[in-house]
Amino acid sequence: MTHGYTPIDEIPAIHASLRATFRSGLTKPVAWRQHQLLQLARFIKDNQDGLASAIHADLGKPLHEVVMGEITPVFERALMCASKIEEWSKDESITDQVQDWQKGWNPRIMRQAKGVVLIIAPWNYPMILSLQPLYGAIAAGCCTLLKLSEIAPHYASFIAENLPKYLDKDAFRVALGGVPEITKILELKWDHIFYTGNGRVARIIATAAAKHLTPLTLELGGKSPVIVDATADIQLAAKRTLAGKTTNCGQICVTPDFVLVERSVASKFVEACVEVLKGFYPQGALNTPSYGRIVSEEHYERLKGLLDRTKGRIVAGGGMRPEEKGIEPTVIADVERGDSLLEGEIFGPFLPIVTVENVDGAIDYINDHDHPLILYLFTTNEATKTKVLQNTTSGNVCINDTFTQLSINEMPFGGVGESGYGRQVQYYSYENFVYGRAVCEIPYEEEPFHVLRYPPYTAESVAFFSQVMKTPIPQSTNPAEVEVKI
- Alpha carbon distance 355, 419 (integer Å): 24
Question: What's the pLDDT band for 221 if we cut at 50, 70, 90?
Answer: confident
d(CA 34, CA 294): 37
pLDDT at 481: 82
The answer to whether 55 touches 68, Cβ cutoff 8 Å, is: no
Residue 116 has pLDDT above 90, yes or no: yes
Beta strands 108-113 and 434-439 are: antiparallel
Tell me which H or E stretch contains 387: helix 382-391
Q: Could you tell me which residues come within 8 angstroms of residue 139 by beta carbon, excluding any fewer than 6 positions away?
A: 33, 37, 81, 82, 85, 88, 429, 430, 433
> Strands of 108-113's sheet, edge to edge?
92-93, 108-113, 434-439
Q: How high is the pLDDT of residue 123?
A: 86
Yes or no: say if 194 and 129 are a contact pair by the CB < 8 Å rule. no
- What 8-state DSSP symbol labels residue 348? S
Q: Does 127 score more than 60 pLDDT?
A: yes
pLDDT band at 484 (very low <50, low <70, confident <90, very high): low
Closest CA to 316 of 345, 366, 350, 286: 350
Q: State the Cα torsion 185-189-194-198 to the nearest 10°.
A: 60
Percent of the chain scored above 90 by pLDDT? 92
Domains of the chain and CATH, by start? 8-220+425-436 (3.40.605.10), 225-414 (3.40.309.10)
What's the pLDDT at 142? Answer: 98
Per-residue pLDDT, 486 = 47
Cα radius of gyration (the chain): 26
Q: How much is the pLDDT for 234?
A: 98
What gap in Å lies between CA 31 and CA 89, rounded to an integer? Answer: 11
The residues carrying an active-site annotation are 219, 253
- The pTM (predicted TM-score) of the whole model is 0.94
Q: Is the pLDDT of residue 436 over 50?
A: yes
Task: For residue 289, say if its preceding peptide bond is cis, omega within 30 degrees of 0.
Answer: no
Residue 446 confidence (pLDDT) above 80: yes
C-alpha 204/C-alpha 195 separation (Å) is: 11
Average pLDDT of span 133-150:
97
Going from the C-alpha of 214 to that of each of 10, 107, 425, the distances in angstroms are 22, 28, 21
Task: Spell out the alpha helix ranges (H) of 62-115.
Answer: 63-66, 72-89
Per-residue model confidence as pLDDT tens digits over 358-411: 999 999 999 999 999 999 999 999 999 999 999 999 999 999 999 999 899 999
Number of helices followed by number of strands (H, E) in the chain: 16, 18
What is the reported pLDDT for 256? 97
State the pLDDT at residue 2. Answer: 54
| Average pLDDT, rounded, for the chain | 95
Residue 135's region, left for phi above 0, alpha for psi from -120 to 50, else beta, is alpha
Residue 251 · residue 64 · CB < 8 Å: no
pLDDT the model gives residue 226 = 98
Contact 393, 417 (CB under 8 A): yes
pLDDT tops 70 at residue 421: yes
Residue 458 to residue 336: CA distance in whole angstroms: 73
The residue ranges of DSSP E strands in 102-250, in sequence order, are 108-113, 116-120, 143-147, 172-175, 192-196, 216-219, 225-228
pLDDT tens-digit readout, 235-278: 999 999 999 999 999 999 999 999 999 999 999 999 999 999 99
- Residue 401: per-residue pLDDT: 97
Tell me the pLDDT band of 1, cut-offs 50, 70 and 90. Answer: very low
d(CA 423, CA 413): 5
Q: Does residue 485 surpass a pLDDT of 60?
A: no
Q: Which own/partner contact pairs does 205-210 have at CB distance under 8 Å and 24+ positions apart?
A: 205/120
